[in-house]
Structure 1
Amino acid sequence: MTNREWAERDLRVLWHPCTQMRDHEDFPPIPIRRGEGVWLEDYDGRRYLDAISSWWVNLFGHANPRINAAIADQLARLEHVILAGFTHEPVVRLSERLVAIAPRGLAHCFYASDGSSAVEIALKMSFHYWRNRGEPARTKYVSLANSYHGETLGALSVGGVGLYRDTYEPLLLEPIVVPSPDCYHREAGESCAEYSRRQFAHMEQALARHAHEACAVIVEPLVQCAGSMRMYDPVYLALLRDACDRHRIHLIADEIAVGFGRTGTMFACEQAAIAPDFLLLGKGLTGGYLPLSVCLTTAEIYDAFYAEYATLRAFLHSHSYTGNALACAAALATLDIFESDDVLAKNRVLAARLGAAAEDLRDHDHVAEVRQTGMVVAIEMARNRQAREPYPWRERRGRAVYRHALERGALLRPLGDVVYFMPPYVIALEEIDLLARIAREGIELATRE
């Protein structure tokens, strides 16, 4: 079977995510036959460097032999069992290890299958906590503009990216939205830390005004990924933790995309030396193999639900595949690799090369900013770099970069007009250089008038 034949079969029966399907009339989906390391191979034998970790999930490469072996070993013993009233070794061991490496105070794990579901768990759990504690008036959530937390209705409610949210506005909760600390908007000569600190005044005011009715604040620590990879300084998180403590409001750290080394530390919250009340993890949790997410929370929150059955205080939330044994085995193998291979130290070398490879784009006539946090580099194209005037969105300049990159053998999938690198941690230095060359060519092509 060829690419064309598989694509034709696909388009007769599939509806792809985050896609205007009409685009595939002249640009069909690419069927992938196999993967190895950072490379994907299609049915016509072409290879593509996976620069975005297949939507930010893959940490240690495709078909990683150590994760493969862990899943195969678990498959021979137990594939899945209901987690209500039952348990199994992989989920117990994984929970113990996550609690051991998570920021201090996080003591209990509640599992789901995807990031949006983990967000829903935290939102419901926070609201329910206050109800169990006799404060039912706390029904509001505080979120940042330009944030993204998923596409189920609760998660979408606390998101701030209009492209995903606006259509469903009549169905959504109404959060208290605070301006983002996104440093793209800082003044000339102002540091990112100074700007993030200045922007915190908006959050402080909102928390003071709504302390009587707010359950929780939810943020993506350091990088607003789907919000064009906009970044901010850890000082904002430190100030936020203090304010949440003073106003008795929960802090939810959505590290679905930024956890497990993406920002340079195991968890982004570590860079502010804080611990949230809820830590949400997913994507890289299984190394990109199987759907698994988790909401970690504190003993204090857990204890608010621990009571006699007749009190009706239990958290009656469930997913059929909660704590799936195969997914937990993949997650344990992923954590083993972190421990045995000194991954974070090696990533510092890779991150330096990623930044250096994109350095010359800082002076490009149509690049407004090159920004980096750990293993994430983003290059923002603009019609006028000095004024930071964006291109009209209908021109789809980023799509031109995407198509060029595929022709040159790289999977880059820009967010609008923001080209970004978020590769697996097994990428080689020369592959980083290749990726940067392809991105540079694509940007040159896409920004021609």
Structure 2
Amino acid sequence: MIEADPVTELLQRGIPRVRRPHWAWIVAAVAFVTLIGAAGFRAVPSVLIDPLHEEFGWSRATIGSAVSINLVLFGLFSPFAAALMDRFGMRRVVVCALLLVSAGSGLTVFMTASWQLLLCWGVLVGLGTGSMAMTFVATVTSRWFVRHRGLVSGILTAAGATGQLIFLPLVAVLATEHGWRTPAVVVAVSALAVVPLILLFLRDHPADVGTTAYGAEGEIEAPVPATGSSIARALRTLREAARTPTFWLLAGGFAICGMSTNGLVGTHFVTAAHDHGMPHTTAASLLALVGLFDVAGTVLSGWLTDRVDPRLLLGGYYTLRGLSLLVLPSLFAPETQPSMWVFIVFYGLDWIATVPPTVALCRERFGVSGPVVFGWVFASHQIGAAIAAVGAGAIRDSLGDYRLAWYLAGGLCVLAALMSISIQSTRVPETSS
């Protein structure tokens, strides 16, 4: 018999006849808050490129390298984090991740050399946020939801946009008025503040609190902990998934997704807009608005994923994104014109709408190994983002503007659309767990 923990007992005591929420929704709410923080923590360096360049004289390519390491680890560690969650539980992994983020951000205030930036914002924050990346979404939805999986995937994915919406304007104002060290301290304190919430309310499996996944039928079953090396399991899953064309089409398309979002727009939009005379605070606010509209777009995408072929959704998303990036260079101006507002709304709705259908395809094609497979697909997303973060900075340093970067990204998005539609409609055999 499974004993309820103290928090469960407290929730079970209350006013009679009041319908209490299913534990799955409590876990989803905590995951939402955690993902808000992870996205905000990771996005902070994009606003600090110019302040760091002005204080230390480091080139934008050098600063972009720290962002690049951050992006690579944010994705590359993701499948290992999924395997660690299977072995040690989500709660332990997420707490350790928050401590890494706090340490990495807090230590930057003492740095005097560029390698320290690479270590703190690149390695420590990258590993921390990578442990709370989209595989966390896949793990939560796979364990806690049967009904509304696509919708919940969309809502949790939208947390990333919400984090961007909250943190970017705040960081821009703090960096402008008080220097870049102040937002670094804010991030460190914010990461620590989330830890008690995780310890109190995040649970690894429905059986831990005496219930089943939301919408599941049948008796409560205690989870069987994963055994063996988490690293070995993640690598074994990659080896098996890599034998299928579906994996490479998903990974290739998601790499382009990363290039065209976090790597290019997320990292360089503020600087590109400032090149055309727009104030940093205004550009950061526009980028935050992308996050606002992405909340609606990603939730809608999750709802559609429960009803429409995910391959067709991905093809449409990538095509529309590519077209919007091709026209972006003509929209920059010192002041925000109506055409730029149209781009912000349109691009925001499409920002990470690709995640719910990609998670669904991984789950459908690879079964119980779906979250780990998605971790590897997400790793390709971040590798693509890292290439774009450095590459766009190099284009800016050598050509004086970002125009070529926007055109390249737009063309690659059209290629990603073709790759997504090419995924076979039949399922491949599940990889072993």
Larger % of strand: which? 1
Which structure: greater helix fraction? 2
The alignment's TM-score, normalised by the length of structure 1, stands at 0.26
Structure-2-length-normalised TM-score: 0.27
Higher relative CO (CA 8 A, sep ≥ 6), structure 1 or 2? Answer: 2
Larger Rg computed on CA atoms:
1
